[in-house]
Amino acid sequence: KRVPLIVGIGASAGGFEAFGSILRALPQDTGMSFVFVQHLDPTHESKLTDLLQRSTKIPVKQIAHQMKLEPDIIYVIPPNSGVVVENRTFLLLPRKKTQPNLPIDTFFTSLARDQGNFAIGIVLSGTGHDGTMGLKQIKAEGGITFAQDEVSSKYFSMPQSASASGCVDFVMSPENIAHELARIATQFNSGKGGLQSEPQFSGTEEDLSRLYSLLRGVTNVDFSAYKPTTLKRRITRRMVLRKTPHLRAYLEYLQHHPNEIEELFQEILINVTGFFRDPAAFVALKRRVYPRLLKERAPNTSIRVWVPGCSTGEEVYSLAISLHEFLGRSAAGKTIQIFGTDISDHMVARARQGIYSTAAVADVSPDRLRRYFQRSDGGYQIAKFIRDMCVFAKQNVAEDPPFSKVDLISCRNLLIYFGPTLQRKVLPIFHYALRHGGFLMLGSSESIGSFSQLFTLLDKRSKIYIRNETYERAELDFKASHHAEETRERTAQKPSMERPNFPRSDLQKVADDLVMSRYTPPGIIINARMDVLHFRGKTGPYLEPAPGTASFNLTKIIRSELSMDLRTAFNQALRTNVPVRKEGIRIRYNGHFRDVNFEVVPMPRAPDGERLFLILFFDVFLGETGKEPKKGSAKPHAGERQMLRLREELTQTKESLQTIIEEQEATNEELRSANEEIQSTNEELQSTNEELETAKEELQSTNEELTTLNEELQNRNGELSQVNNDLNNLIASFAMPIVILGTDFTLRRFTPMAQKLFNLIPADVGRRITDINPNLQLPNLDKLAAEVIDSLNVKEVHATDNEGRTYSVRIRPYRTAENTIEGVVVVAVDTGDPWRDISDIAEMVSEPVLLLTSNLTVRKANERFYRDFHVTPTETEGRLIYDLGNQQWNIGSLRKALLSVLPKDGIVTDFRVEHEFPHLGKKTFFVNAKQLARNANYIVVTFKEHKTS
């Protein structure tokens, strides 16, 4: 079975011109099918099919519902519709007004799903980001992707978005894209019959093993246990891109281009993910998993989730958002740890940033965008409180030790790339990592296989399993990671204290370090915010962390007896920048009392300008017991009484200060409340800003469609200009009077020959024909035109101009391409001089002959007429027949007979006329009259004298 490649081409503003360049440079017989998807105005009928057909000899068709794809055809999306492909058949989708219009992503995604490695995606000039997500899907399925380069792009936003996503194989000009398509078609083509259903993997198992060794040497990952079909498809794709005909040639290419190994490694990993993939799975988590996770859970126990194969982190953040939504207000009191791991350093680094393009968050609801995302340059960044829940690290799930006591493992669409051996190794690792009653969620195409004793199915639709308790311990074989090996090497090489190994010149330094570690007072280093940065010595007797959320702020971890004095001393040192010392502060430690002195010493500023302080603690010796004297053991003397009084005053002072502190804390609480209100207002403003951003995106989408429409109209205007020029030249070349009238009988266009006949000038365009006095005697032209418009029949009449020339005037309807009548076309055909048609015959006959017009005016007469009736041409031509001579022809019955010749197509035969003619005397003539055959507007009259015998 042979199947052609399908090339999806997405474009917006400026893309029509780029696609035209591709078509002009593309061979006609590539065997490929081309689908052109452009942002079109939904209310305007597209002329793309006609416009593209002028750029190529390849047939161009507009897509119809359930139309089958055929090779060497160009298909164009219709306006106001989306299009997808299933089983090589087009399906049209209604355009959804409530969602962003992303027709290119929609088609590319369906193309990747339907054609796999036979899909080719191209993003041309345009604004926005449509097409980026679709190209990712095409590349994930093994297809080939292109983007137009910046130099040739009229608008670079769409190609730039695609290129920045890392899913584009070639960034080229349209002409080079065409050449590369032709090369790919040639490489895939297996003969005249078309393209093979699978590109051939030309390589031996030995060559494949060499390739795996190269990958393992560079990436420390063994791909030999992955599914061979997937690997071969990926390798073949790289071979096509690198123009290597077989695997051995590709191995040689790898030897000379080490960077290609990393490219192949990244491609094999298939880093394709998205936010909230399969929404039904997240609904199942909220209904069936999260409630069980929280049931009978100890208050201080953290919720732990592991996402192996996390790629760029969308799955990790989706789980964090989903869990936060489920917990609601109680999320603040929970410790949530979501671990995302991947084998690629590059993917882990991108996941940590949490920055995603606008295209990547296209499927995220507006409410989630507002709550859990922040606008960033060129896209969105995950909110900090969500990022704080997530930890990303590099990990090979099959070789590195797993996390432990995990509540939920989400491993979706990772096992499908593993071979059976690797799957049997990984599933026991997941069982080991989960706590008792933990959950495992797999992808829709994955299962636990033969490990039913380890897991029980909880939700069939979402592939959620619950961990079983088992007495059989799975064999877990973890290889030491490269980092761990380096650590052990450094540890092995590090000299121990028991067996010193240092030069004698360092004796002084070693001795100083030993003395300082034993005799210097303990202390801590803090910054201006009283955050502890470093501990020196044993500071346990002076610190006592308070219950609750862990903190390194000194006010939270110092003993209560030292808190007030330490705060006072620190503020003084901060203000004066000189050391401050406090003495004789009694604390209780391990059931004993001890007096403590401390000193706050300002330190030199850090390289970044931050102020630092060193706090040193000194114990004061109280005696051998170190205990407070018991009451009543002995009567205190005056000094002791003075001591007790001072202590009471000190206690009162402390209580007073404590009250001040509490008031200060209350004030701080009010400030925090005000700050929360400010934050709430800020969130509302941010929400409003995001709504404006959404409106901006909608306007941008509309602007793209209008730009595309404008570009199409510009092309149409160019065509119309050309057609208008052709029409003007055609009309100018007509040696015939032609006038085009509208339905209101206004002049629309006329030929140069019509200017003289109808007495027109260029400024008369737009005037009614009835307002113009033409040289043609046709007074009822408007009525004739109205009859033609009403009846749709062609009318033909005869008319004479002021010089006596006759014309056959034909009036026909003016029809548009939509078969509507919008006026008439008037054509006047010069019928020539009617006397010329009969002059030779008239001079040859022995009878007088007259040529009369329709109103019985004499146009011409033959010489016999002038001679027989003794008249001249001046006395005859241009005069009515019944005015000739002494009106001998003014006979009512004769006039009536002659006037009936033209309208009734009649004939006058042997009409007898007796009259006393001047110079002739009394004569009798038989008059014969008939319509001129070649000019129906004239009458030929002959006179035959009756002679008596």
Residues 6+ apart with CB under 8 A from 467: 431, 434, 435, 436, 437, 438, 439, 440, 454, 455
Distance CA 332, CA 681 (A): 20
pLDDT one-digit tens code per residue, 603-636: 988 766 788 999 999 887 544 344 444 444 455 5
pLDDT > 70 in the chain, percent: 86
C-alpha distances in Å from residue 158, one per residue of 77, 131, 261, 528, 691? 19, 7, 29, 48, 23
Q: Please tell me the predicted confidence (pLDDT) of residue 169.
A: 85
pLDDT one-digit tens code per residue, 723-782: 777 777 777 777 788 999 998 889 988 888 888 888 888 888 888 888 888 888 887 888
Q: Please tell me the predicted confidence (pLDDT) of residue 934.
A: 60
pLDDT one-digit tens code per residue, 153-186: 888 888 988 888 778 888 989 999 999 898 888 7
Identify the three-state secondary structure at position 188: helix
Q: Please tell me the predicted confidence (pLDDT) of residue 656.
A: 60
Q: Please tell me the predicted confidence (pLDDT) of residue 659.
A: 63
**Contact indicator for 932, 940 with CB cutoff of 8 Å:** yes
Provide the pLDDT confidence category of residue 832 given band limits of 50, 70 and 90: low
Q: Please tell me the predicted confidence (pLDDT) of residue 40.
A: 79
Residue 143 exposure: Cα atoms within 13 Å on the Cβ side:
31
Q: Which residues pair with 908 in a beta bridge?
A: 929
pLDDT one-digit tens code per residue, 179-233: 989 888 877 664 333 334 444 556 677 778 888 888 887 878 888 778 777 777 7
pLDDT one-digit tens code per residue, 514-539: 666 666 789 999 998 898 988 888 88
Picking from 334-343, 532-541, 794-803, which range would have the lowest pLDDT averaged per residue?
A: 794-803
**Contact indicator for 778, 803 with CB cutoff of 8 Å:** no
Which residue, among 290, 209, 208, 215, has the nearest Cα to 247 in the 3D structure? 208
Q: Please tell me the predicted confidence (pLDDT) of residue 198.
A: 44
Distance CA 16, CA 419 (A): 46
Longest CA span, the chain: 197
**Contact indicator for 16, 46 with CB cutoff of 8 Å:** no
**Contact indicator for 6, 134 with CB cutoff of 8 Å:** no
Q: Please tell me the predicted confidence (pLDDT) of residue 621.
A: 56
What is the per-residue DSSP string for 935-947?
-TT-EEEEEEE--
pLDDT at 936 over 70: no
Q: Please tell me the predicted confidence (pLDDT) of residue 512.
A: 66
Query: Once rounded to an integer, what is the mean pLDDT over residues 538-562?
Result: 85
Provide the pLDDT confidence category of residue 490 given band limits of 50, 70 and 90: very low
pLDDT one-digit tens code per residue, 83-114: 999 988 999 888 776 566 788 988 999 998 88
Query: Once rounded to an integer, what is the mean pLDDT over residues 410-431?
Result: 86
pLDDT at 683 over 80: no
Provide the pLDDT confidence category of residue 478 given band limits of 50, 70 and 90: low
Q: Please tell me the predicted confidence (pLDDT) of residue 637.
A: 61
This prediction's pTM:
0.50
- Between these two residues, 481 and 852, which has the higher pLDDT value? 852
Picking from 279-293, 362-376, 435-449, 635-649, which range would have the lowest pLDDT averaged per residue?
A: 635-649
Distance CA 130, CA 77 (A): 15
